[in-house]
Amino acid sequence: MAEEVREPDATALDEVVTFTSELIHIDTTNRGGGDCRERPAAEYVAERLAAAGIEPTLLERTTGRTNVVARIPGTDPTAPALLVHGHLDVVPADPSEWTVHPFSGEVRDGLVWGRGAVDMKNMDAMVLAVVRSWARQGVRPRRDVVLAYTADEEDSAADGSGFLADRHAALFEGCTEGISESGAFSFHPEPGTTLYPIAAGERGTAWLKLTAHGRAGHGSKVNTANAVTRLAAAVARIGAHTWPVRLTTTVRAALTELAALYGIEVDTHAPDFDVDLVLDKLGPAAALVAPTVRNSANPTMLEAGYKVNVIPGAAVAYVDGRMLPGAEEEFAETMDRLTGPDVEWEFHHREVPLEAPSTPRPSPSCGPPSSASTRTGTSCRSPCPAAPTPSSSPGSASPATASRR
């Protein structure tokens, strides 16, 4: 079999559209708390891997919460393995808020529409189409490639990557790098400019549960210990809070290199450096880095009461928080202050922040890419062929690569 990896064939280009559409049509909505069933999508993937001669392994911690893992042997057994992974579940979608049914997978105007078209059944389909193309062409990669299609990414990952890491780590033996969502897609901030972000880290997930206790009573009576009022005040403070800028090393590199693509010289260590001013100058490209310069906390869910004329004794809210590397203690201290003495808070789900170190180029002139960069294009409008920028994932906190062409 050939060792050189070739471009996907024409069949792959057709299959990727079909696979994306059909995977979207399989409703794998994850409502949290175990309310999801990925098995139909997992079986869809497994059948198509098997048809290409790639042996899939289906694994479940909970019935219906299915993961698929497969290994494609490389030609060099001494080379480290590469993990390529995607998740099969999606967040909920209300059809009344869509112009196209979110689980139709409809192809219209040259696009595939539906929940998962971006996050991330599109990449699931791309990986599936590429490895099937390899099989048709007799291609083997130099290193082993481990494929993982996981469950439960949109909630706690307890039935997905957490389960696989805890119970089936041997399947990933030798993997030294992983590729998944939040990077390597093309981003078009303006005509003639294409950026290719590659995520190298992310903010840590900090999903919070807030609970306010008070004195239950009739709605017609004065109540100075109303749990709903106490909770609402805390939620309002959290929602209105402006988090201070906290630039990690890799985000500084990202800002420097992305600004250089637009001819903007920045010194992120200058005492008067204004990151918001720089973001304004970057226009649409600012979306690649804006979520990574601060911690954040957004109230998302409220639960209280059972009748309009009854004041409940407790009220609950949920907050989607994200913590930068090194800013976890500040996050907790801030939540203590914002919630106040009448509201308790706890981590409903927590993941540690991740960051890969990066060294920016010493100047925006042409030169070798930084340690975090790779060339992603052969031509460019600006002097630099490549530069690190962060991914646009809300959890992302680190740089990647970008090119103008």
Active site residues: 89, 153
The C-alpha atoms of residue 271 and residue 245 are separated, in whole angstroms, by 13
The C-alpha atoms of residue 142 and residue 382 are separated, in whole angstroms, by 34
Nearest to 145 by CA among 319, 334, 5: 5
The C-alpha atoms of residue 162 and residue 350 are separated, in whole angstroms, by 12
Structural contact between residues 183 and 400, judged by C-beta atoms closer than 8 angstroms: yes
List the structure tokens of 44.
């869809």
List the structure tokens of 313.
């004794």
Kindly list the distances between the CA atom of residue 63 and the CA atoms of 37, 59, 158, 390, in Å, as whole numbers in the listed order.
8, 10, 13, 37
The C-alpha atoms of residue 172 and residue 163 are separated, in whole angstroms, by 13
List the structure tokens of 48.
């198509």
Give me the DSSP letters along 294-347: S-EEEEEEEEE-SSTTEE-SEEEEEEEEEE-TT-HHHHHHHHHHHH-TTEEEEE
Task: Return the DSSP state at 147.
Answer: E
> CB neighbours of 98 closer than 8 A, spacing ≥ 6?
none
CA 272 to chain centre: 32
Structural contact between residues 22 and 84, judged by C-beta atoms closer than 8 angstroms: no
Kindly list the distances between the CA atom of residue 199 and the CA atoms of 62, 390, 399, in Å, as whole numbers in the listed order.
30, 6, 6
The C-alpha atoms of residue 123 and residue 81 are separated, in whole angstroms, by 20
Nearest to 398 by CA among 257, 274, 193, 220: 257
Q: What is the 3-state secondary structure (H, E, C) of 215-263?
A: CCEECCCCCCCCHHHHHHHHHHHHHHCCCCCCCCHHHHHHHHHHHHHCC
